Amino acid sequence: VLSQVQLVESGPGVVKPGQTLTLTCAVSGVSITDSSYAWNWFRQPPGKGLEWVARIYPHDGRKWFAASLQSRTSISSDTSKNQFSLQLASLAAADTAMYHCAR
């Protein structure tokens, strides 16, 4: 029987312009250190399509970022808690979106 993988996002909800957004994604049902998987953050601005933001492979620390956001974005993992986090600095109106984590 395959275990069900669940990802649960948490964060502040609303952040003011100029501040840093920190979001965390808690994973259950699989270890984030499983080398088969990358872990991603996406966002969807109002009325627009889904945009990929960042990716991490916690088993070896590899990271990728959307070119347009790279200078303001960081991604990290906490393997002891089986979770990974996104930070987006210097927020502006253009960063208004729903943010989602995904495998």
Higher-pLDDT residue of 14, 82: 82
- Name the domain count of the chain: 1
Q: 48-86: per-residue pLDDT in tens?
A: 999 999 999 999 999 999 999 999 999 999 999 999 999
Specify the pTM: 0.93
Question: What distance in Å separates the CA atoms of residue 56 and residue 38, rounded to the nearest whole number?
Answer: 6
At 64, give phi and psi (nearest 5°).
Answer: -135, 155
Kindly report the CATH number assigned to the domain that includes residue 16.
2.60.40.10
| Residue 2: per-residue pLDDT | 65
- ∠ CA 62-67-71, nearest 5°, is 80
- ∠ CA 72-78-83, nearest 5°, is 85
The residue range of the domain holding 81 is 6-102
